[in-house]
Structure 1
């Protein structure tokens, strides 16, 4: 019989949330327009979005937090 326990996601959830939608980003201090995020993503300077539906996107919470930590480290804040 197959084990009924769900497999753990490969990415650790941050604060109980695995994905951040557009509405979560401003609360994290990321007040960027969609066109700015698209441009930064294309340049490799912002985490890439995950398409979760035909008209919906989200970002992996762990990648967003890593991005914020990287920006702080570049600025010299630990």
Structure 2
């Protein structure tokens, strides 16, 4: 007997035909943002106030987060030579 079950062609093609579900947006806390962008806290907040860095979102009185996709986009723009 074969100990490793094999997928039929129908089930294999069904898996390939199913669309990829995008992952939900990820939120980053300040320490991870600092690690990703290489700026200190004060520089991040200064650039946010000048409109040169993605704005944080407040989840509560002492909880600020950034949307990962916005941080990634900012990094790409800087790498291309943006402001």
Asked if Structure 1 and Structure 2 have the same fold, meaning a TM-score greater than 0.5 normalized by the shorter chain, the answer is: yes
Tell whether the 8 Å contact from 2:29 to 2:64 is kept in structure 1 after alignment. Answer: yes
Q: Structure 2: which 5+ residue stretches go unaligned? A: 1-23
Q: Structure 1: which 5+ residue stretches go unaligned? A: 1-11
The within-5 A match list for 1:23-38 is 23-28=31-36, 30-38=37-45
Which has the larger Rg? 2
1:51 alignment partner in structure 2: 58
Is the partner of 2:65 in helix, strand or coil?
strand
Aligned residues: 59
**Runs (4+) off by over 4 Å:** none
In the superposition, the TM-score normalised over structure 2's length comes to 0.62
In the superposition, the TM-score normalised over structure 1's length comes to 0.65
Residue from 70, 73, 76 that aligns with 1:63: 70
Instruction: Please tell me the root mean square deviation across aligned C-alpha atoms, in Å.
Output: 1.7
